Amino acid sequence: MAVCSAYTTQSLNSTCSISTPAKTHLGFHQKQVVFYRRSSKRGGSGSSSGPCVITCSAGDSQTVVIGLAADSGCGKSTFMRRLTSVFGGAAEPPKGGNPDSNTLISDMTTVICLDDYHSLDRTGRKEKGVTALDPRANDFDLMYEQVKAIKSGVAVDKPIYNHVTGLLDPPELIKPPKILVIEGLHPMFDERVRDLLDFSIYLDISNEVKFAWKIQRDMAERGHSLESIKASIEARKPDFDAYIDPQKKYADAVIEVLPTQLIPGDNEGKVLRVRLIMKEGVKHFSPVYLFDEGSTISWIPCGRKLTCSYPGIKFHYGPDTYFGNEVSILEMDGQFDRLDELIYVESHLSNISTKFYGEVTQQMLKHADFPGSNNGTGLFQTIVGLKIRDLYEQITSSKTAAPLEATKA
């Protein structure tokens, strides 16, 4: 549905011309339809009034906007790959654009990184003594205006933050997709941006797991010392606690990653307890449940149909409250030995929004090499991806039905 703004009202006895796309000061691309009232020669000399200018967006329908919040190194990229795979096509940078672009485009989705709305480059942040997590280092006004424009079907020239150089690069053109995913540190920080989201997810990695992951990555792969890793985490923690972590109370779904309870005193972060926290009463979203909706259930599925080596697998499901909201929580502790046996677990889950029996298992096998594919992080990311597909289909079908109902009325 095109979005139009009419600037004056004129007679319907008019001619029409369509101008070339115009660009606004905020980087929007619009088209104008200009109506000119025909001059009248009655009663004297011809006269004509000014044109009626109607500015319309170029999009055919409103874009569905998904927000994904998490700290750095918490699995946002992996989640995006799983999500875009559900909708089909590989997510790739814009063709012919900046090779350091953070944007990913697939058949139906466009993923933009909110780091692109940094108002300060790396040097600027260092001079002012602020981190990228600090709201003062980000342009929320531009973020809001451009996300709002894309949601309305208007293309924008989005800035690019270059993670290689730490500089702000020239902008890139972002055309309205069917689904826009905004991922980064602050998708739910600004109330105006938050209100544009059709669905929101928060990846909540506990401090213990985050520390274990960072040690594995930075010590093994980058040669960092344990002391430098601790210092890096501690330096970010105050801003993370102040500006990033509070956003989870606004999320429609939270994937919480915790240390396992199956191994007493475990601190390696290799076996994980993962909880999918789903808010009740969200439009177009029905929480997943295990066996019986609304009941409280503990389930150890290991046995003849599911191979489980030490320490095994345990599921839990039940109602709860989260920041004052009614939620349903599905929990998995442990990891799968054989992904092809996941279909046994899948068959006991309901409201997973699959198109066919075994779709969750198929998606997990398809991306078996992704991080978390043998535990609850991969399972719940996949399920949330399928739920977002269902949400998108419900939203688009309701928009299609609305004009039809209006004509009947």
**All structural domains of the chain:** 61-206 (3.40.50.300), 252-395 (no CATH)
CA–CA distances in Å: residue 372 to residues 32, 78, 209, 305: 49, 9, 13, 22
Question: Residue 59: pLDDT above 70?
Answer: no
Higher pLDDT, 203 or 97: 203
DSSP code for 138: B
Specify the pLDDT at position 28. Answer: 61
Specify the pLDDT at position 141. Answer: 98
- Please tell me the least confidently modeled range out of 222-231, 256-265, 282-291, 305-314: 222-231
- Please tell me the least confidently modeled range out of 48-62, 72-86, 143-157, 382-396: 48-62
Specify the pLDDT at position 221. Answer: 61
Question: Residue 283: pLDDT above 80?
Answer: yes
Specify the pLDDT at position 91. Answer: 83
Specify the pLDDT at position 314. Answer: 97
Q: How confident is the model at residue 22 (pLDDT cuts 50, 70, 90)?
A: low
Per the CB < 8 A criterion, the answer to whether 223 and 88 are in contact is: no
Query: Could you read off the pLDDT of 117-176 as tens digits, one per residue?
Result: 999 999 999 999 999 999 999 999 999 999 999 999 999 999 999 999 999 999 999 999
Helix, strand, coil tally for the chain in percent (to 5): 30, 30, 40
Q: How confident is the model at residue 336 (pLDDT cuts 50, 70, 90)?
A: very high
* CA atoms 344, 311, 300, 334: torsion sign: negative
Residue type, 310: Y
Residue percentage of the chain with pLDDT more than 90: 66
Q: State mean pLDDT over 374-394.
A: 97
Specify the pLDDT at position 15. Answer: 37
- Count CB-CB contacts under 10 A for residue 18: 10
Q: How confident is the model at residue 256 (pLDDT cuts 50, 70, 90)?
A: very high
CA–CA distances in Å: residue 406 to residues 62, 63, 206, 379, 393: 18, 21, 49, 41, 20
Phi, psi at 226, each rounded to 5°: -60, -40
Q: How confident is the model at residue 366 (pLDDT cuts 50, 70, 90)?
A: very high
Query: Could you read off the pLDDT of 208-252 as tens digits, one per residue?
Result: 888 887 777 677 666 778 888 888 788 889 999 999 999 999 999
Per the CB < 8 A criterion, the answer to whether 367 and 82 are in contact is: yes
Query: Could you read off the pLDDT of 86-132 as tens digits, one per residue?
Result: 998 778 888 888 999 999 999 899 999 999 999 999 999 999 999 99
CA distance 358 to 343: 6
Question: Residue 55: pLDDT above 60?
Answer: no
Tokens of 137: 């280092």
Compute the mean pLDDT over every residue in the chain, rounded to the nearest whole number. Answer: 85
Closest CA to 270 of 323, 324, 342, 215: 215
Specify the pLDDT at position 211. Answer: 82
Q: How confident is the model at residue 52 (pLDDT cuts 50, 70, 90)?
A: very low
Closest CA to 257 of 307, 186, 331: 331
